[in-house]
Amino acid sequence: MMHYGTVSVEMKANGVGGVVTALCLMSREGDEFDWETVGKDIEHAQTDYFYKGVHKTGVDGIIHAFPDGGTIDSDYHTYTIEWGPKRTIWSIDGFTVRTLERSSNFEDGVYKYPNKPSYIKLSLWDGSGCNGTAKWSNGPINWDESPDTYVSYIRKVNITCNPEYNKVITDNDDELSD
């Protein structure tokens, strides 16, 4: 888990309709930041976020084209979430595509900005499960005409935790030998 920091994943996602490849920061309380690619829409990736399990972006998140072109399934792209206590920045291949300011999410006397320690999750999943998700993921997958296995490729993962909010443990720490 981490509480504020930067996560970057260099990956080539699956382009089949209904297949979702994602980088998520997800807390036990339902706070979440996402980078998602959905099959068939190979020229875009999507950003999204939730506060305590409530979808804050809209039905399908915000869709982004790749700044230097390319597609999700024929090119490696670096997807980054830079999460801080005052703002979150999503970028593709080093280009900022979205910025979320904590101050812009003040509702009913509360900043509805994800702020709980979160797991870093990389996933490849079948979006065919229910009608709304299947439509969003350009599915459902036609399993009768498809291979049994779908693959996305991850070439590199970089994680930098903000030391002001995280206890960073290294291989040299005595705690690991206990």
* Residue 116, number of CB atoms within 10 A of its CB: 16
Token code pair at residue 23: 């980088």
Which of the residues 36, 101, 164, 175 is marked catalytic?
36
Candidates 29, 32, 101, 145; catalytic one: 32
Give the side-chain half-sphere CA count within 13 A for 91.
Answer: 13
Does the active-site annotation cover 145? no
Q: How far is CA 87 from the centre of its chain?
A: 16
36 as an active site residue: the answer is yes
Pick the closest to residue 25 from 45, 46, 7, 44 (CA basis): 7
| 124-163 per-residue burial string, b: 16 or more CB within 10 A, e: under 16 | bebbbeeeebbebbbbbbeeeeeeeebebeeeeeeeebbe
* Residues known to be catalytic: 32, 36
